[in-house]
Amino acid sequence: MGLSDGVVRPGALRRTVNGLDLDVRVGWYRSLPLSSVRVFALEVDGAAVTPTFELDGATYTLDELPAFHDKWWFVQDPATLHLPVSTAKSAVRVELEIGWRIPYIVIGPETALVQRAHVDMELEVAA
């Protein structure tokens, strides 16, 4: 609902030489630091996938993201998840559970709000 809509939009999935690329957008109204990003789960056609994360020309493993509090994910720019998935299908089911720590909304001692988005979409694979 609301800001978690539009995290993955139609046309977001492309085939590459290494697998699939998935464009993902910020599930909040403003830009957030990479340190706030957490990918909880990603499945393609029911199989778990560990992606890498690319933004502004730099690529990160998911484990590296928490350290980058000085790199910003601009709210209008999609990040690209590189999925090591080999498939010849023209469409696949993508399930993504992703969250952002909202760094100015404090909900308890040393605890900030985490905004989560759950994506479950049948996406066409563009060339």
Q: What are phi and psi of 12, to 5 degrees?
A: -80, -10
Whether the CB-CB separation of 42 and 26 falls below 8 Å is answered with no
110 contacts other proteins (rule: CB under 8 A): yes
SS (H, E, C) 13-82: EEEECCEEEEEECCCCCCCEEHHHEEEEEEEECCEECCCEEEECCEEEEHHHHHHCCCCEECCCCCEEEE
Residue type, 57: G
Q: Which of residues 64-83 bind other proteins (CB under 8 A)?
A: 66-67, 69, 72, 74-77
- For other proteins, which is the closer residue by CB, 86 or 110? 110
**Taking CB under 8 A as the rule, which mask of x and - marks residues 36-65 in contact with other proteins?**
x-----------------------------
Which of 19, 23, 35, 62 forms a contact with other proteins (CB under 8 A)? 35
Give me the residues that bind other proteins (CB under 8 A), please.
1-3, 5-6, 25-26, 29-31, 33, 35-36, 66-67, 69, 72, 74-77, 101-104, 106, 110, 112
